[in-house]
Chains A and B, each alone.
Chain A
Amino acid sequence: MDPYEIEFIGENRIVNIIPNFSHDKIFLICGEFGPFRAGLPMNVPLWLGVMLKQKQKCRIVAPDWMDIEVLENIKEEEKKSRFFTKMPNEHYMVEAKLILGTAAEDKPRASEIKTIIKDIWDIRMSKLRTSMDALMKTGGSYGRLDHLTMMEINSVKPLLPQAMDELHRIKMNARKTMPVQSSLNSAVSQPGSSQSIL
Chain B
Amino acid sequence: MSRQSNYLSISDILVTNEKIPCKFLHDLPKMGFLDPSSTEDDLKLGTNVEIPLWLAESLYFRKPPLVSVDLPKIYKEAYREILNADACTVDLHKLGQHFYELGCYIAKHDIKGEVANTLINTFRQRFRMILSASCSTDSISSLQPLSESERERTAAAAVTEKALSLWLQRGDCPLSTANMVASHRKRKRAEMEMF
Interface on A for B, CB 8 Å cutoff? Answer: 2-4, 7, 93, 97, 101-102, 118, 129, 132-133, 136-137, 140, 151, 154-159, 162-163, 165-167, 169-171, 173-179, 184-193
Which residues of chain A have C-beta atoms less than 8 A from B153's C-beta? 158-159, 162-163, 166
C-alpha gap A151/B160 in the complex (Å) = 11
Contact B53–A174 (Cβ < 8 Å)? no
Contact B124–A185 (Cβ < 8 Å)? no
- The secondary-structure label for the interface of chain B is helix
What are the 5 tightest A-B residue pairs by CB atom distance, in nearest-first order? A174-B116, A3-B167, A173-B104, A174-B107, A159-B157
Contact A188–B104 (Cβ < 8 Å)? no
How many chain-B residues does the 8 Å CB contact rule pick out?
53
Given A2-B163, A188-B53, A167:B124 Cβ within 8 A = yes
Scan residues 110-151 of chain B and give those whose CB is less than 8 A from a CB of chain A: 110-111, 113, 115-116, 119-120, 123-125, 127-128, 130-131, 134-135, 149
C-alpha gap A137/B123 in the complex (Å) = 9
C-alpha gap A162/B130 in the complex (Å) = 12
Which residues of chain A have C-beta atoms less than 8 A from B179's C-beta? none
Q: Which of these, B1, B12, B107, B161, contacts A162 with CB under 8 Å?
A: B1
Which residues of chain B have C-beta atoms less than 8 A from A7's C-beta? 167
- The secondary-structure label for the interface of chain A is helix
Closest-by-CB residue of A relative to B112 is A177
Closest-by-CB residue of B relative to A121 is B168
User: What is the total of A-B residue contacts with beta carbons within 8 Å?
Assistant: 134
Over the window 49-84 of chain B, the binary record of Cβ atoms lying under 8 Å from chain A Cβ atoms (1 yes, 0 no) is 000011001101111000000000000000000000
Interface on B for A, CB 8 Å cutoff? Answer: 1-7, 9, 12, 16, 53-54, 57-58, 60-63, 100, 103-105, 107-108, 110-111, 113, 115-116, 119-120, 123-125, 127-128, 130-131, 134-135, 149, 153, 156-157, 160-161, 163-164, 166-168, 171, 173
C-alpha gap A104/B103 in the complex (Å) = 55
Contact B160–A158 (Cβ < 8 Å)? yes
Closest-by-CB residue of B relative to A97 is B168
Which residues of chain B have C-beta atoms less than 8 A from A176's C-beta? 107-108
Contact A132–B131 (Cβ < 8 Å)? yes
Given A159-B134, A162-B1, A188-B53, A133:B119 Cβ within 8 A = no
Which residues of chain B have C-beta atoms less than 8 A from A179's C-beta? 60-61, 108
Contact A174–B104 (Cβ < 8 Å)? yes
Which residues of chain A have C-beta atoms less than 8 A from B103's C-beta? 170, 174
19 intermolecular pairs with C-beta atoms under 8 Å apart: A3-B167, A132-B127, A133-B128, A136-B124, A137-B127, A158-B156, A159-B156, A162-B2, A163-B127, A167-B123, A170-B116, A171-B120, A173-B107, A174-B103, A177-B116, A188-B12, A189-B61, A190-B58, A193-B62
